[in-house]
Structure 1
């Protein structure tokens, strides 16, 4: 008989762990400290109001095209 599982964090890994545990029949509780789930996946339009980010440039060339692909969801 499956037991109870506590997952800390509802980011990419936490959501995957929660889904897998549920598939195996565990009772799962997932805790997230922020008001939204998704962790680094969650888009935040202005993470630091008042700071100037014009000097920063983010490029996806360092990441594989599958880095952010999570086909089980």
Structure 2
């Protein structure tokens, strides 16, 4: 199985006040909501498509029998 590469993360700090700051805060809030929704759906997809424990390709769970 090929391991996924970690995503590149870019952080920018911008300090803006007044009406422009309000617009920026709204855009940032929308972007954060979109990312959180994507992460939630992706996590649910991974959970649904994960192979059951004990299959030939998956290692035993650390809290499973014999732990």
Q: Which TM-score applies when normalising by structure 1?
A: 0.25
Of structures 1 and 2, the larger Rg is shown by 2
Higher relative contact order (CA 8 A, sep 6+): 1
Higher share of residues assigned helix: 2
TM-score between the two structures when normalised by the length of structure 2 = 0.27
Q: Which structure carries more strand by proportion?
A: 1
